[in-house]
């Protein structure tokens, strides 16, 4: 048994033991229901919260299936007599599929860049210990206090000097840069929770920096990586100011800018706009449905690996 394996066994033995309790099933029928306390306040609060969440979703889905005339004449929550998919056809005819592809490219590349740079930076901050490393960490903390709106003009000048204006790269680079401070803070806290005995044991066994990073840091930092990936992905998917300032052509538009196509000088096509909103949420909803199990497993993994 290597020192690393022994250290993991010691770390597992020192954790607080979880005592299991045996639940006694209540008697069947009305007798069990009488003995069970009823939390009326929690039921009312849950019902109220369900209404708050469900009514806007119902309004968005229903209005996206209305015609413009039906939206103006009928009530907001009254089911329309004739449902139509013309709004969705109009959205696709306006090139909304291109906007979805552009947003997907920006989101995926931003997530990859943030994860690839944040984890090594957090590793160096936690286990570096030099004054230069601490100064770098303080610089990243300062980045949390600087909003993108305050530095959008210098970013615009930098992007134009690099001849990146009106490209997806012009959106990806600043979006990833502004996601890095929060990602490094989260991953730094995650790595500081890893027991030092594991690093010492692997070092005594002859593991180098690359092997420590690959065999120890990557598996145990998976919950933090999932959280950082979600944060940076949503930030890139919903980003508005960088696409607005740093792009111009129709072919480089992303979803937040694509929603502008339904707003004219004299009014807004609300049914068409909400149809575009529904289409913009489908990729995120599908990603959640397919990755929910892995997400929950990663967040609850802890030190079990």
Q: Where are the domains of the chain?
A: 39-84, 95-299
Q: What is the average pLDDT across 191-209?
A: 77
Residue 168's pLDDT band, with cuts at 50, 70 and 90, is very high
- Kindly report the number of other CB atoms within 10 A of residue 199's CB atom: 18
Residue 187 in this model has a pLDDT that exceeds 80: yes
CA 91, CA 87: separation in Å to the nearest integer? 6
Residue 303 in this model has a pLDDT that exceeds 70: no
Task: Please tell us whether the domain made up of 95-299 is placed in CATH 1.10.3720.10.
Answer: yes
3-class DSSP state of 215: helix
Where are the alpha helices (H) located in the chain, listed in sequence order? Answer: 3-14, 30-35, 40-63, 68-73, 86-93, 96-128, 131-143, 152-161, 168-192, 196-204, 209-212, 218-220, 222-237, 241-246, 255-258, 270-299
Give me the sign of the Cα torsion angle 119, 122, 127, 128.
positive
pLDDT for 18 equals 44
What's the pTM value of the predicted model, to 2 decimals? 0.75
- Kindly report the number of other CB atoms within 10 A of residue 58's CB atom: 14
Q: What is the average pLDDT across 101-122?
A: 91
Residue 218 in this model has a pLDDT that exceeds 60: yes
Residue 108 in this model has a pLDDT that exceeds 90: yes
- For residue 145 the two structure tokens come to 């206090």
């Amino acid at each position: 048994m290597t020192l690393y394996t022994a250290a993991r066994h010691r770390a597992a033995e020192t954790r607080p033991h979880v005592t299991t309790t045996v639940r006694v099933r209540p008697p069947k029928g009305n007798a069990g229901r009488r003995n069970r306390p009823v939390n009326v306040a929690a039921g009312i609060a849950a019902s109220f919260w369900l209404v708050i969440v469900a009514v806007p979703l119902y309004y968005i889905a229903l209005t996206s299936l209305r015609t413009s005339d039906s939206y103006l004449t009928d009530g907001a929550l009254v089911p329309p007599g004739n449902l139509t998919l013309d709004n969705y056809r109009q959205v696709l005819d306006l090139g909304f599929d291109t906007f979805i592809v552009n947003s997907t490219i920006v989101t995926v590349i931003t997530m990859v860049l943030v994860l690839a740079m944040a984890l090594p930076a957090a590793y160096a901050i936690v286990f570096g210990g030099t004054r230069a490393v601490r100064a770098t960490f303080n610089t990243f903390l300062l980045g949390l206090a600087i909003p993108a709106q305050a530095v959008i003009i210098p970013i615009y000048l930098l992007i134009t000097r690099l001849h990146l204006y009106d490209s997806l790269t012009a959106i990806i680079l600043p979006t990833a840069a502004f996601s890095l401070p929060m990602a490094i803070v989260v991953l730094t806290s995650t790595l500081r929770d890893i027991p030092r005995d594991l690093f010492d044991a692997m070092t005594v066994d002859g593991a180098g920096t690359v092997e420590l990073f690959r065999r120890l840091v990557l598996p145990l930092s998976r919950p933090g990586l999932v959280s950082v990936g979600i944060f940076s992905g949503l930030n890139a998917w919903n980003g508005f100011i960088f696409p607005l300032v740093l792009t111009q052509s129709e072919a480089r538009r992303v979803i937040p800018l694509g929603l502008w196509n339904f707003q004219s000088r004299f009014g807004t096509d609300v049914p068409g706009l909400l149809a575009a909103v529904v289409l913009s949420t489908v990729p995120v909803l599908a990603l959640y449905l397919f990755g929910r199990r892995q997400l929950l497993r990663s967040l609850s993994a802890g030190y079990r690996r």
